[in-house]
Structure 1
């Protein structure tokens, strides 16, 4: 090897070593910090859920809780809230794409407290949004607290990477899926593109966060139980049989369409609340009253809260959907409506766990219609609807493997990519960018999802005559 080539090789290796040491020094402590916040959050959610089960009358205070949440964000949230569902997640995405406004440190405690309040009083919401917002807010705060002599060596690209690291640590830690968390953080930013430049620090932080949650003694109890149910499935089911995969394909298309319905309905209701109800404090009040009315109309409280468990032994939940008869044909639709109303009216939380509920129950129903294994289709639905709503098929495939095992890779991969295609360009994250369209279109690259209607021209539109 010529001397100049050897020098270039050694220089590249030295640069790589510096890069690795730099990000290990940054993200391991950050992952531990975000993991601790996740552990606190998960524990608080569990206590809030158990308290709501113990005192059912708390549901009647949901409208008042909504007013309190709206007031907190109105007077203390500032940039943390933009008057639409999951504004915090979108704020972080916007800052990653185009730094400038900054991510406020107050976002982490605000979203944690308000999400716990939402669940305590019966709002239908998830936890991913809160974990991601806490992760991004903590990452931004840590960057701001660094000594000047360190911060001056960090570029705008480094700050962008730190925010991605926060997303990965938040997601991976709250669900116990560190590898999926890292992939999710680099895949969710833009449809059709992976930001590999942040993959290494994102993976380190996600692993550190997940380890920290477990080290605090906080366990993810639901999904191991679901995995055990799926693993008990009779081994005679051939997962690569063409007829079985055809049924998977049909179900996956339904998962994608329902994901699109959820995203579109949530955004539409959010705009409707904003347009017709100008006072921000009244939106969650009305949303809470609607949730109470639906609860008593249906005669069940199974569609409140996370949906990971039920206050009734024979109630409907994510886990019950893995059993034959564990969901009604319309369970998925009711959870979709409850969650869309909760989030669009101003309550706080995420969408992913409710999407798990929607997907598992829809998979349960489709398994009955298609004559397929309920356990497998509930698992596929849990992953598929999530993949379609977030446009992250790779992360969801990895999550499926982490939750249910590599044996289910063929149907998992077919489900996530098919659901991704059938969901169109809908997304629960309006700040997600469109890098590579799913089908031929003239939409400019890197267009935010919220701006797509401006670029979609009606067909056969006649040009005005001169």
Structure 2
């Protein structure tokens, strides 16, 4: 229900934004209003999807007030024409609600942090899996997404059947409500070296673009948290930048989550550098402290980037856009298994091998710090280095 509420709220905000174009110039004030809401609810102003996921990984409490604050804050962002989606907002809402339910039913008592078998983060992980499943109609991808977000934490992985059950229930509930993102269809082409080359090229391009996007977003968010200026002034400045860019260049179609741009990419009607515009507006919007998610915008950026290769290699633009969307998502979110399953459940299982071919270079060629923090590869490498250093110190003694 959190995912459905978030998408419906953002649909309303998007409709109002397009109906009353003057709301674009209210974006700075709407950003200040979201800052005021977070202060009123005593929530950290720098809270973001990555910090929520980090709370789940560290078995920390997800504040119950985060659910309404994330929803209203994202509504304000999209209402003013900011570039943001509902996925990360839904993850925050669902993890907050599920964590609260877990405490209410005594599923994770106080002091659970000392005993990994009663890790209270698994209830929040169930919420995240269910939210992703409801949004994209992909219960298997939603389950793997939650597992990859918590980096296959043993206490969460042991409850895989519960995560699967939550994902499928959310999928069944969301289907008749039509409250998620309906991605366009893409058919698997006949096998050829040309198609294989496209997948690899798109994957490498997404690795480079995803690295730049993630680095820029992290840098701006760090600057927002550490800035000596009042947060309201920083958010207002970011809103003013977005408003001026959109108005000056006529970039109104890049507002919101970018679902309409995804359809344009699949239809072959997008422009070659549309992906750069969407990435720029998303980075400025979210980097300057506006609330919202970057998952759907990242799928949009990837689809636009993939479609730009279609004409170059003479491949169906819908297939190229599909490969770009999941490859960029894998690079930016550091969740390659969920990306392949998302392609399989959304575009058909015949697309899965091609998706894996695009996702592999995108994941391996990008830095291991993405939208939701460090990936599993980096964490394993750090753990190995720590163990190696510990053994060396013991030998020196």
Deviation at 1:446, TM superposition (A): 9.8
The one of 51, 54, 76 aligned to 1:94: 54
The answer to whether the 8 A contact 1:63-1:285 is kept is yes
Matched, 1:162 2:127: no
TM-score (norm 2): 0.89
Number of equivalences:
382
TM-score (norm 1): 0.76
Q: Secondary structure at the match of 2:134?
A: helix
Deviation at 1:299, TM superposition (A): 1.7
Match of 2:4? 39
User: Matches of 2:128 and 2:340 in 1, distance apart?
Assistant: 18
Q: Secondary structure at the match of 1:322?
A: helix
Query: Cα deviation per residue 1:338-359 (whole Å; 9 max; x = unaligned)?
Result: 0011111111111111111111
User: Matches of 1:38 and 1:57 in 2, distance apart?
Assistant: 28
The one of 3, 14, 20 aligned to 1:55: 20
User: Matches of 2:212 and 2:65 in 1, distance apart?
Assistant: 32
User: Matches of 1:134 and 1:300 in 2, distance apart?
Assistant: 30
Deviation at 1:426, TM superposition (A): 2.9
Matched, 1:404 2:347: yes
Deviation at 1:435, TM superposition (A): 2.8
Deviation at 1:130, TM superposition (A): 0.7
The one of 243, 259, 262 aligned to 1:308: 259
Equivalent runs, 1:120-139 vs 2, <5 Å: 120-139=79-98
Larger-Rg structure: 1
User: Matches of 1:212 and 1:296 in 2, distance apart?
Assistant: 40
Deviation at 1:185, TM superposition (A): 0.3
User: Matches of 2:160 and 2:342 in 1, distance apart?
Assistant: 16
The one of 260, 265, 280 aligned to 1:337: 280
The one of 328, 332, 341 aligned to 1:389: 332
Q: CA RMSD in A?
A: 2.5
The one of 202, 214, 218 aligned to 2:178: 218
Q: Secondary structure at the match of 1:69?
A: helix
Gapped regions of structure 2 (runs ≥ 5): 387-397
The answer to whether the 8 A contact 2:121-2:156 is kept is no
Matched, 1:68 2:33: yes
Deviation at 1:394, TM superposition (A): 0.8
The answer to whether the 8 A contact 2:3-2:87 is kept is no
Q: Secondary structure at the match of 2:256?
A: coil
Deviation at 1:367, TM superposition (A): 1.6
Deviation at 1:88, TM superposition (A): 4.0
Match of 1:32? none
Matched, 1:256 2:207: yes
The answer to whether the 8 A contact 1:187-1:193 is kept is no
Matched, 1:182 2:147: no
User: Matches of 2:273 and 2:174 in 1, distance apart?
Assistant: 35
Equivalent runs, 1:192-341 vs 2, <5 Å: 196-215=157-176, 217-220=177-180, 222-223=182-183, 226-227=184-185, 230-231=186-187, 237-239=189-191, 241-276=192-227, 278-309=229-260, 317-324=261-268, 326-341=269-284
The structure whose residues are more often helix, as a share, is 2
Gapped regions of structure 1 (runs ≥ 5): 1-35, 310-316, 438-442, 448-466
User: Matches of 2:226 and 2:94 in 1, distance apart?
Assistant: 31
Match of 1:12? none
